[in-house]
Structure 1
Amino acid sequence: MGRVLLVTGISRDIGRRFARAAASDPSIDRVIGVDVVPPRGDIGDVSFVRADIRNPVIAKVIAKEDVDTVVHMSVIATPGSAGGRGTMKELNVIGTMQLLAACQKAASVERLVVKSTTTVYGASPRDPAMFTEDMGAKRLPSSGYAKDVHEIEGYVRGFARRRPDVAVTTLRAANVIGAHVSSPITSYFRLPVIPTVLGYDPRLQFLHEDDLLDVLRHAAVQGVPGTFNVAGDGVLLLSQAVRRLGRPSVPMPAFAVGRLATTLRHAGVSEFSREQTGFLTYGRGVDTTRMRTILGFEPRHTTAGAFAEFARSLHGVVPEPAFAGVDPRPQAPRPKGSSSKGAEHV
């Protein structure tokens, strides 16, 4: 008998696409998508239930549908998309707390997959070359998306202790990039002129949108418990990324980038945040050894390959010199146990 999945955040494109992909998996019997508004676009064989995870009614949905696997994707990175910072925090933190409470009561739940982010590590001049999963941020976040994710992961760990019979998988995804992705980092790279922080050239890692869908499905089906960094192999410097876009850049002092970010945010052009400005200053690197050796997942795209496809989607056709030396094709699996150093995320 196949699994019964409940997917939160199905109104957003990535949640809808994952739910539809999961519904086509022969090892999955049914997929129930939950959100406060209906998804836009075809959801195939997915059953949509209009429900707010901030409300205890989510427990009734889980019990009625006899859900055994929950994939939590309803964590919002931009306050503008939620109607303000207060609503964003409520959706992220309170929503997660209610969902976990519902899962704790449901005897049918056997697996929980949480889409998290490497933003939880922060970005500072004291960071290690590579963050492993047992490391924490050198400077705890005090506000915004990073603070929400830090709190969410704490609640998830508490749930795992209370329900040791449930396989809990937390996926710390690098910045997801692709033609269909709308996020702070893709909005940044879509600007006609790219502002950079004067004197800094941060390392970037990306995860292709298709690899995100694949790793979520892999985690839901395989049920491997633990916390895993997920990123495409390799790194790009910001200067390399900008050159490969073929767009001009303007180096600015950090305070000026911060002011510009505020202006763009108020104008509705880009959801620049304080943590993104820090990231574009110091960058971030994560080790993905556990992803390969324990989770058993290998992304099809490298960091450079994922960015190449994203850039092609912006330009239609990218001049060859812009991608000299970059192979955007899926990469062959690396031998088990090989090091992932040099492959990171944003």
Structure 2
Amino acid sequence: MRVLVPGIAGRLGKLLAERLLASGHDVIGIDRRPFRDAPAGVEMHEVDIRKRAAEDVFRRVKPNAVIHMATVTHLVVQSEDRYRINLGGTRAVFEHSNTYGVEHVVFCGRHTYYGAAVDSPLFHTEDEPPLGLSSFPELADLVAADLYAGSALWRYPSFTTTVLRLVYTLGPTGHGTLATFLRGARVPTILGYDPLFQFMHEEDVVTSLVLSLDRRPRGVFNVAGPQPVPLSVVIRETGRTNVPLPEFVLNAALGRFGLPKLPHGAFEHIKYPVTVDGSAFRNATGFVYAHDEADAMRAYREAFPRPLG
């Protein structure tokens, strides 16, 4: 099968490419970033998914399937370009897929789509709307891309659409929002709060993507592995120091004293849990995670020991 992967140049994209190649697929990558350590066998195109050159790749390659990973998730930097990439790039992927005869599109979304709020349900199901955009506008473009991908279920009936809302990743590549939040020696929390965090080992995330390609489930699916873990436990087990602060103090200290930078809206995500029910995906694909939460935290700790200081 010819599999086109927009956004392949990240660390998770490399793991996915290796797994697809080992399964006998032809892998074609699109990314505006260079993919310097691309696995041998990947046909790489260093182009912007929104540009004409990307459409030319679709036209020439005529992929059987697309795994769309080309969304920007860094929440610290906001720009019109980011919004155009996330929504405009997603629209381009689905339009080109429809035009050039793709049979299956997998969209890689985030479980943070649901938002964090004091009255959120403990385990979100796929039919729930996003919450908290008024307090966390940085998520708006990711939510818009997810909603557009979901609309492809009726907008483009000629191919199968699989929308995945993946929980955080954690593991030896250091990929993702949670891994970045844990990168420093000291991790800030808000005094009096210890929310559950839900994450999967990177290898299990790749397994979920490959299973989606093989089983071709149609619809929107939460993807989760082990049970969620309190943030304080995640910090301790990855070898970091928990720094609980009153919210007003944390707001003033972010980006200083060795603490990470966060948009203010992200405070809700370190106060309240965003956890999902992944049973529909398991039932549709037979997904079983191979690494429990302890494996994932240990793998991250070994790859990224606590920095000095």
With structure 1 as the length reference, what TM-score do the two structures score?
Answer: 0.82
Structure 1 Cα separation of the partners of residues 70 and 81 of structure 2: 13
* TM alignment of 1:223-302, pairs within 5 A: 223-261=216-254, 263=255, 270-302=260-292
* Residues 1:91 and 2:85 aligned together: yes
* TM alignment of 1:1-346, pairs within 5 A: 3-26=1-24, 28=25, 30-78=26-74, 84-106=78-100, 108-140=101-133, 144-261=137-254, 263=255, 270-315=260-305
Structure 1 Cα separation of the partners of residues 261 and 161 of structure 2: 31
Q: CA deviation at 1:144?
A: 4.9
- Partner deviation per Cα, 1:59-105 (whole Å, 9 max, x = no partner): 2211211211011001111166xx75222222111111122221121
Q: CA deviation at 1:205?
A: 0.9
- Partner deviation per Cα, 1:195-219 (whole Å, 9 max, x = no partner): 1101111011111111111111111
RMSD: 2.2
With over 3 angstroms needed to count, the CA separation of the structure-2 counterparts of 1:294 and 1:184, relative to structure 1, is: closer
With over 3 angstroms needed to count, the CA separation of the structure-2 counterparts of 1:56 and 1:88, relative to structure 1, is: same
2:224–2:278: 8 Å Cα contact kept in structure 1? Answer: yes
Structure 2 Cα separation of the partners of residues 146 and 224 of structure 1: 26
With over 3 angstroms needed to count, the CA separation of the structure-2 counterparts of 1:117 and 1:141, relative to structure 1, is: farther
Paired residue for 1:330? none
Q: CA deviation at 1:180?
A: 0.7
The number of equivalent residue pairs is 306
1:228–1:295: 8 Å Cα contact kept in structure 2? Answer: no
SS at match of 1:195: strand
Paired residue for 1:324? none
Structure 1 Cα separation of the partners of residues 162 and 300 of structure 2: 28
* Percentage identity across paired residues of the two chains: 27
Q: CA deviation at 1:285?
A: 1.6
With over 3 angstroms needed to count, the CA separation of the structure-2 counterparts of 1:52 and 1:246, relative to structure 1, is: closer
2:239–2:305: 8 Å Cα contact kept in structure 1? Answer: no
1:122–1:275: 8 Å Cα contact kept in structure 2? Answer: no
- Partner deviation per Cα, 1:134-163 (whole Å, 9 max, x = no partner): 112333456555211210112112222122
With over 3 angstroms needed to count, the CA separation of the structure-2 counterparts of 1:227 and 1:116, relative to structure 1, is: same
Paired residue for 1:342? none
1:234–1:304: 8 Å Cα contact kept in structure 2? Answer: no
With over 3 angstroms needed to count, the CA separation of the structure-2 counterparts of 1:72 and 1:141, relative to structure 1, is: farther
Structure 2 Cα separation of the partners of residues 69 and 139 of structure 1: 33
Q: CA deviation at 1:187?
A: 2.4
With structure 2 as the length reference, what TM-score do the two structures score?
Answer: 0.91
SS at match of 1:10: coil
Q: CA deviation at 1:222?
A: 2.0
With over 3 angstroms needed to count, the CA separation of the structure-2 counterparts of 1:133 and 1:112, relative to structure 1, is: same
Structure 2 Cα separation of the partners of residues 231 and 274 of structure 1: 26
1:206–1:307: 8 Å Cα contact kept in structure 2? Answer: no
With over 3 angstroms needed to count, the CA separation of the structure-2 counterparts of 1:89 and 1:57, relative to structure 1, is: same
1:73–1:114: 8 Å Cα contact kept in structure 2? Answer: yes
1:141–1:147: 8 Å Cα contact kept in structure 2? Answer: no
1:79–1:88: 8 Å Cα contact kept in structure 2? Answer: no
Return the letter of the residue paired with 1:91.
I
With over 3 angstroms needed to count, the CA separation of the structure-2 counterparts of 1:259 and 1:94, relative to structure 1, is: farther
Structure 2 Cα separation of the partners of residues 141 and 100 of structure 1: 28
